[in-house]
Structure 1
Amino acid sequence: MKKLLLIYILLLSTITFAQKVTVKGIALDSTNGRNKVYITLNDTINKYLKNKDFDMDKYESLYDNKNFNTKVNNQNRFKIKAKLSDSLTFSSWRHITKSYLVSDLKSKKDIKIVLEPQVCEEYVPCKEENPKLYVFIGEKIKVDYAKRKYYCNRVSMDSKFDAKYKIVENLYGNFMNDTINYVAYDHYGKPGFSEYDNVILYVAEYCGELYHVKYQYNNVYKTKNGKWASPYQGFDYKKLDSLNIKRPIKMEFEKEVTFEYGKHTDTLWFEKRFPKPFYKTNGFKAKAVYGNYAIDIFEIMKKTILKTRGFFE
């Protein structure tokens, strides 16, 4: 009988925690309502930001889904449905985030969450005049969103990322370790280089810290002769007609390198991005035919973008 009673209690408890309840109350920060406090179920938004298969459209859809993410109204009141086993995260711009179990919140007579402001620190710019540059072919280990410091005297609209890559081949600078950890900043979301397994990366050392040279990378693939190469990209050759550089050549990649887009793709953009004879196209699918070896790509970068960034005379 006791065993049956215990099973009944456990079953009842499980059912209770699985059922959704309405959690409502007040949430505000130190701005007295000027900033809206957001309430997120099970920290869903932050968890998705760290997803290796991050997709901006899915992120925006999740962010706008009021079943997972909502905000207070003009009276600083909120309401959201959740299970007793769930948690709710309360966040606001430049304030310290707080998380609570739903079961704990429901035990309160009145729910009032007050977020404390973050404490800022002064930004001291690095005055490194001759930063070291490391150029290498890297294999992605991870690229994750990172928490930015809150500076009193500097505003940045970029997202920060912690990146870790295996060094497959050094091209310049001879970084001594097998792996490298560095920071990347990007205004448009997750960095473009994170979409590829292997890339040529450009990382500079400023005041003892490693930073990605913003927006600079080249996706590369193995060729049948065992070398790394990047498919032809027209912008690599802008204003380079008078320079002694190797032109793109026909490549036999170890695996077929193709780029495919949806039917609503702009035709003019596609033709400029994947011009013939450098690519063989079928509809909005392009197969790479021409390219440059990694070392030649680096020589192009030295004469163009890296030169304008002050790394080469």
Structure 2
Amino acid sequence: MNSKNDYAFIGRKIEIIETANRDISEIIQIDSITNDTIKLISIPMNFEYRAKYEILHNAYNRIPLDTIEFIVLDHYGRPKFEQFDNVLLFVHYDENTKKYYHEKYKFEPMRRTRNGKWKSLDGKNLKRIIREHYQ
């Protein structure tokens, strides 16, 4: 993956709100051929959230905004990246829906060094993380 619609930025959380209903739904239908009763059960596989982040630094391609809203889908519940003050996030812009979507489970907690550069909490520099991600 490496397109004009892929972006990476270091951001600070403003809010994350759950948007999708995770209730299990049932629909009863009658089969038109056999007249049998059919029970259809729908079980959502993802939690869905709307995230709003302040953009601190554009790391890959430039998002021309101070803040960004994007959709997060997660099988396990609340996104793990929300616990970090500064986080490198990878998003994709969908031209059909006109929305940004988080690349599932892709993030890196970041810190600013004394000289103003960004590094991951385990010491990787930002250029290396971006290079490894978009290879």
TM-score normalised by the shorter chain: which range applies?
Answer: 0.7 to 0.9
Letter in 2 for 1:181: E
Displaced runs of 4+ in structure 1, greater than 6 A? none
* Equivalent residue number for residue 225 of structure 1: 115
* Equivalent residue number for residue 29 of structure 1: none
Q: Does 1:205 align with 2:93?
A: yes
1:210–1:292 Cα change, 3 Å: same
How many Å apart are 1:182 and its aligned residue? 0.5
CA distance in 2, matches of 1:176, 1:224: 27
Q: Does 1:297 align with 2:129?
A: yes
Alignment of 1:149-298 (within 5 A): 156-206=44-94, 207=96, 208-232=98-122, 291-298=123-130
CA distance in 1, matches of 2:22, 2:66: 29
Structure 1 contact 131–204 (Cα < 8 Å) conserved:
no
Q: What's the C-alpha RMSD, in Å, of the aligned pairs?
A: 2.5
TM-score (norm 1): 0.34
How many Å apart are 1:156 and its aligned residue? 3.0
Letter in 2 for 1:296: R
* Equivalent residue number for residue 31 of structure 2: none
* Equivalent residue number for residue 17 of structure 2: 144
Q: Which has the higher helix share?
A: 1
How many Å apart are 1:170 and its aligned residue? 0.5
Q: Deviations over 1:204-233 (max 9, x none)?
A: 11222211000000000111111110033x
CA distance in 2, matches of 1:296, 1:203: 18
CA distance in 2, matches of 1:292, 1:184: 25
How many Å apart are 1:155 and its aligned residue? 5.3
CA distance in 2, matches of 1:173, 1:148: 33
Q: Which has the higher strand share?
A: 2
Structure 2 contact 6–61 (Cα < 8 Å) conserved:
yes
- Greater Rg, structure 1 or structure 2? 1
Q: 5+ residue gaps in structure 2?
A: 28-41
* Equivalent residue number for residue 135 of structure 1: 8
Structure 2 contact 22–44 (Cα < 8 Å) conserved:
no
CA distance in 1, matches of 2:22, 2:7: 25
Letter in 1 for 2:127: I
- Aligned-residue sequence identity (percent) comes to 34
1:192–1:180 Cα change, 3 Å: same
CA distance in 1, matches of 2:62, 2:89: 13
